[in-house]
């Protein structure tokens, strides 16, 4: 966004929202814009390629403190520690982790991804040992997201059939990213209902920002979404032989630094602080996935845009 764009947006906000609210929004937008410029030049956080794991489970948009709050209730979360992601948004995470210096790592890794940002040019099937873009063939129109089970099915299927030259697998679930599956208020909003944040996205965090839900309500829904996907993570761990790590691509802000959600390239520590869990998985063969290879599929750009909009992106 140019300075002139920012000035025009500010004038429009004054007309629509009044001086106080417009000034606050524009000040946050200005600060985030500066943060993005800094974040693109001075990154911090550890790329996952520099950690030890065979299977990496990504829980999209999971905060460390959210997972730590419920860790004692889950056998698969017995050792949760904080770490810092190399990104503050999904497509930034992909760009950070598909750089040429990681070509060897990608070539021996399968990527099972529910996140539609793999449509970005930085993700090419030929660069990976295998690529299954779950969002292309298992999107739920009813829920406005990709539910966990198709991701689990694909991951177990592919890992049990891996070749000797496949060393690793990334399993990318969409939850706890909104929409919140068990919260009726978290989906189906129009732009004027939830507003537009400084990142240009429509999302449930703006709904909280604008006072339409309380922090208790949104935190409970966020936690429930995490527990929803953890049911599948537990199933996955019981049906793999591997050293597993569980983490997130980024977190979410709930007003810290004046930020709501997860705008990209913003080096706010709270936005990049994510969990890191290590677990040893043993395949007990308690589950046989219902998985059929989807074959070559194409999906229109407009359809992908619809899916990303359902997740809160414009």
| Residue in 124, 236, 105 with CA at minimum distance from that of residue 166 | 105
Identify the pLDDT of residue 197: 41
- The side-by-side arrangement of strands in the sheet containing 273-281 is 80-84, 273-281, 242-247, 55-59, 168-173, 109-113, 130-133
- Other beta carbons within 10 angstroms of residue 148's beta carbon come to 23
Number of H helices, E strands in the chain: 11, 9
| Residue in 311, 289, 303, 275 with CA at minimum distance from that of residue 77 | 275
Tokens representing 304 are 């992908």
* pLDDT values of the chain reduced to their tens digit, one per residue, 314 residues: 454 554 555 556 555 555 655 555 555 555 555 555 555 556 789 999 999 999 999 999 999 999 999 999 999 998 899 999 999 999 999 999 999 999 999 999 999 999 999 988 899 999 999 999 999 999 998 888 999 999 999 999 999 999 999 999 999 999 999 989 887 766 544 434 433 443 444 578 878 888 888 999 999 999 999 999 999 999 999 999 999 999 999 999 999 988 888 988 898 999 999 999 999 999 999 999 988 877 666 677 777 777 777 777 75
Identify the pLDDT of residue 208: 87
| Residue in 104, 120, 155 with CA at minimum distance from that of residue 134 | 155
**Beta strands 80-84; 273-281: pairing state:** antiparallel
Identify the pLDDT of residue 304: 76
- State the Cα–Cα distance between residues 61 and 173, nearest whole angstrom: 10
Question: Is 235 within 8 Å of 11 (Cβ atoms)?
Answer: no
Identify the pLDDT of residue 190: 42
- State the Cα–Cα distance between residues 33 and 39, nearest whole angstrom: 10
Identify the pLDDT of residue 22: 53
The CA-CA-CA angle for residues 286, 292, 295, to 5°, reads 150
């Amino acid at each position: 966004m140019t300075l002139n764009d920012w000035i025009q947006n500010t004038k429009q906000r004054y007309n629509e929202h009044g001086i106080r609210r417009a000034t606050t929004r524009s000040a946050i937008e200005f600060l985030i814009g500066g943060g993005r410029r800094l974040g693109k030049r001075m990154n911090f956080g550890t790329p996952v390629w520099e950690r030890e794991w065979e299977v990496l489970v990504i829980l999209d948009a999971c905060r460390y403190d959210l997972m730590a709050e419920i860790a004692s209730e889950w056998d698969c979360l017995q050792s949760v520690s904080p770490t810092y992601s190399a990104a503050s948004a999904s497509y930034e995470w992909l760009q950070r982790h598909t750089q040429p210096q990681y070509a060897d790592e990608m070539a021996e890794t399968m990527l099972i991804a529910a996140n539609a940002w793999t449509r970005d040019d930085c993700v090419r099937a030929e660069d990976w040992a295998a690529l299954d873009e779950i969002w292309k063939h298992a999107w739920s129109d009813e829920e406005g997201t990709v539910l966990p089970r198709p991701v689990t099915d694909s991951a177990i299927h592919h890992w049990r059939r891996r070749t000797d030259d496949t060393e690793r697998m990334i399993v990318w679930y969409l939850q706890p990213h909104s929409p919140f599956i068990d919260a009726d208020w978290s989906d189906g909003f129009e732009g004027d209902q939830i507003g537009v944040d400084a990142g240009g996205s429509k999302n449930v965090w703006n709904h909280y920002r604008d006072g339409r839900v309380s922090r208790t309500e949104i935190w409970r829904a966020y936690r429930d979404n995490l527990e929803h996907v953890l049911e599948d993570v537990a199933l996955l761990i019981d049906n793999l032989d591997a050293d597993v790590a569980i983490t997130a691509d980024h977190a979410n802000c709930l007003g810290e630094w004046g930020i709501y959600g997860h705008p990209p390239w913003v080096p706010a520590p709270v936005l990049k602080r994510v969990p890191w869990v290590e677990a040893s998985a043993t395949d007990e063969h308690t589950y046989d996935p219902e998985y059929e290879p989807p074959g070559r599929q194409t999906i229109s750009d407009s359809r992908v845009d619809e899916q990303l909009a359902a997740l809160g992106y414009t």
